[in-house]
Amino acid sequence: MKADSPKDLVPAFFDNTAQTYDSVVNWTTFGKDRYWKREILKQIPNCETILDLACGTGILTFQMAKQFPNSKITGIDITESYLNVAKKKNPYQSVSFLKQDAEKLDLSQKFDCIVSSYIPKYCDPKSLIPVCLNHLKPNGKIILHDFTYPKSSIVKSLWNTYFVILSVVGYFLPSWKKVFADLPKLIRTTKWLDDYEQVMKEHGLETHLQSLTWNSSAILTGIKKI
């Protein structure tokens, strides 16, 4: 049987998990998701327009709206149920949500900043970076965040043990069973960081890399120099 491609995993991971996502992402990362999002926020310049690619339930979108009350923020996501949770929670007039596939992004405006947490590993950088560039203003910034497989052997073995435990927990949380079982392999095999950095450089972006929490996640930024 053919292995799932990262993009094939998206409906399997997300179609039935929207209602519990906010709490699950927090406890499964021991609260690090909050810290990682604070680090993403530090990278965002004060600007007029921000796009949250794969906004999910809007956790980061609403944090951006709070930090930048004068910015117009658009969140896009491919999964209807996640967008419905985001729309229901939305207290901000400056925030709007749309259903779109990030790799086929087609919006009638350009943004000062495009931000995304946890999308890179599901997408092909050769598709995603050009569409982002088509939607980015001159001197605009792309900020990508996702999990990475730790480098140190001690951290790697703790990380692997943790995912074995999570895969057992998955038997008690059926909607999350496939995520807990298949996510570690995806993170171990993805080369998103190197691949996106290379494609960004090929398109003339000035890149910067920040590793987080013993290399278990990273933020890659690229600035479109005019």
Least spacing, CB of residue 144 vs ligand SAM, in Å: 11
Tell me the torsion sign for CA atoms 125, 63, 31, 79. negative
- Assess 65 for contact with ligand SAM (CB under 6 A): no
Nearest-approach distance from CB 114 to ligand SAM, in angstroms: 12
**Alpha carbons 144 and 6: distance in angstroms, whole number:** 17
Nearest approach, Cβ of 225 to ligand SAM (angstroms)? 26
Question: CA torsion sign, 169 to 187 to 39 to 20?
Answer: negative
What is the DSSP code (8-state) at residue 203?
A: T
Among 50, 54, 73, 183, binds ligand SAM (CB under 6 A): 54
Rounded to an integer, what distance in angstroms lies between the CA atom of residue 192 and that of residue 161?
A: 23
Instruction: Specify the residue for token string 């013993």.
Output: 214
Torsion angle defined by CA atoms of residues 42, 77, 32 and 212, in that order, rounded to the nearest 10 degrees: -60
Taking the least distance from each CB to ligand SAM, the nearer of 36 and 159 is 36
Six-digit token string for 65:
């709206």
Q: Which is nearer to ligand SAM, 14 or 149 (CB)?
A: 14
CA gyration radius, the chain:
17
Among 24, 84, 90, 101, binds ligand SAM (CB under 6 A): 101
Size of the site for ligand SAM (CB under 6 A): 20
Judged by CB under 6 A, the stretch of 55-63, 136-144, 158-166, 187-195 that binds ligand SAM is: 55-63
Residues of this chain, 200-219, that bind ligand SAM according to CB under 6 A: none
Using CB under 6 A as the binding rule, whether residue 119 contacts ligand SAM is answered as yes
Minimum CB separation from ligand SAM for residue 184, in Å? 14
CB neighbour burial string for 36-59, b if at least 16 within 10 angstroms, e if fewer = bbebbbebbeebebbbbbbbbbbb
Interface region with ligand SAM, contact rule CB under 6 A, candidates 73-81, 149-157, 169-177, 215-223: 73-81
Q: Which residues bind ligand SAM (CB under 6 A)?
A: 10, 14, 25, 54-56, 59-60, 77-79, 82, 101-103, 117-119, 122-123
